[in-house]
Amino acid sequence: MHQIFTVATQQAKQSLDITARVAEIVKRSGVSRGLCHVMVLHSTAAVILNENDDPDVGVDVLTALDRAVPDHAGWLHDRVDNNAHAHIKAAILGASELMPIEGGRLQLGTWQGIMLMEFDGPRRRKVAVRILTEE
């Protein structure tokens, strides 16, 4: 099963919890045991697994990346479209995550959630979800 959904981000840099949307796709797939691959189809956003109970974790990740990769710090790509920092941050975190499915549900840790990390918004982001079954 493969499905693409759209997320509208509201800020230039933002962390959005997409766990519920992905979990619903897994549920509808009817797959009892397998893998769920989630990928953002853009080069200035990322998908990560991290704590989703406290939204400040996502803010902290954004802050840490801003400190490590400052905006407009002489990046060569800024001469093209002024968003090199977004490409670099997305490359550091990665575009996708792979999670197990067990008993028809995503197998995540107690505090884990799937977060879309926006670095060049606001935009409409496409997220692809592919379910692979072991059955």
Residues shown for the chain: 135
**For the segment 89-131, what is each residue's pLDDT rounded down to a tens digit?**
999 999 999 999 999 999 999 999 999 999 999 999 999 999 9
The answer, yes or no, to whether residue 135 has pLDDT greater than 80, is no
Compute the distance between CA of residue 114 and CA of residue 16 in angstroms, rounded to an integer. Answer: 8
φ, ψ dihedrals at 70, nearest 5°: -70, 150
* DSSP code string of 45-85: EEEEEEE-SSTHHHHHHHHHHHHHS-TTSS-TTHHHHS-HH
Mean pLDDT over all residues of the chain?
Answer: 97
Residue closest to 106 by CA, chosen among 74, 85, 131, 128: 131
Show the domains of the chain with their CATH numbers.
2-133 (2.60.120.460)
For 66-80, what is each residue's pLDDT tens digit? Answer: 999 999 999 999 999
Q: Which of these, 39, 42, 46, lies nearest to 94 by C-alpha position?
A: 46
Q: Residue 62 above 90 pLDDT?
A: yes
pLDDT tens digits, one per residue of 21-49: 999 999 999 999 999 999 999 999 999 99
Q: How would you classify the pairing of strands 124-133 and 2-8? A: antiparallel
Tokens coding 6? 């759209």
Report pTM: 0.96
Determine the pLDDT at residue 134: 87
Instruction: Give me the mean pLDDT over the 50-76 stretch.
Output: 96
Q: What is the dihedral of CA 89, 18, 42, 97, to 10 degrees?
A: 70
Q: Which DSSP symbol is given to 1?
A: -
